Amino acid sequence: MAVTRIEIDFLPVGKLQKSGDAIAIRYGDEITEKFMVVDGGDLAAGRLLVDHLKVNYGEDVIIDDAVCTHSDGDHASGLRTLIKELPVRRLWVHQPWLHAERLNPQFKGNWTDPNLSGHLRNNCFSVISDLCDLAEEYGVELCEPFAGRLIGPFHVLAPTLDRYLTLVPQMDQTPTAKPIVEAALEAFRTVTTSVYSFFETWDVETLQDPKPDATSVPNESSVVLFGNVGGNRILLTGDAGVGALDEAIYAAGQLGLNITSPTVVQVPHHGSRHNVGPKLLDQILGPRVDDADITRGWAIISAAKLCTKKPYRSVTNALLRRGNCSGGWH
Model confidence over 279-309: pLDDT tens digits?
888 999 888 877 666 677 888 887 766 555 6
Q: What is the pLDDT of residues 127-142, one digit of tens each?
A: 999 999 999 999 999 9
3-class state of residue 133 by DSSP: helix
| Sequence spans of domains, the chain | 5-327
What is the identity of the amino acid at 124?
C
Of all residues in the chain, the percent with pLDDT exceeding 90 is 55
Specify the pLDDT at position 249: 94
Specify the pLDDT at position 175: 81
Specify the pLDDT at position 53: 95
3-class state of residue 219 by DSSP: helix
Specify the pLDDT at position 74: 84
Residue 187: Cβ-neighbour burial (10 angstroms; 0-12, 13-18, 19+): exposed
Rounded to whole angstroms, the Cα distance separating 271 from 4 reads 30
pLDDT surpasses 80 at 260: yes
Q: What is the pLDDT of residues 43-90, one digit of tens each?
A: 888 999 999 999 999 999 999 999 999 998 888 999 999 999 999 999
Q: What is the pLDDT of residues 304-318, one digit of tens each?
A: 665 556 677 888 888
Specify the pLDDT at position 189: 35
Q: What is the pLDDT of residues 162-173, one digit of tens each?
A: 999 999 999 988
Q: What is the pTM of this model?
A: 0.87
Rounded to whole angstroms, the Cα distance separating 78 from 98 reads 23
Chain centroid, CA 86 distance in Å = 22
pLDDT surpasses 90 at 205: no
Dihedral in degrees, nearest 10, Cα atoms 245, 249, 254, 256? 130
**Residue 269 burial (CB count, 10 A):** 27
Specify the pLDDT at position 204: 65
Higher pLDDT, 192 or 100: 100
The CATH fold of domain 5-327? Metallo-beta-lactamase; Chain A (3.60.15)
Average pLDDT value over all residues in the chain: 84
What is the identity of the amino acid at 194?
S
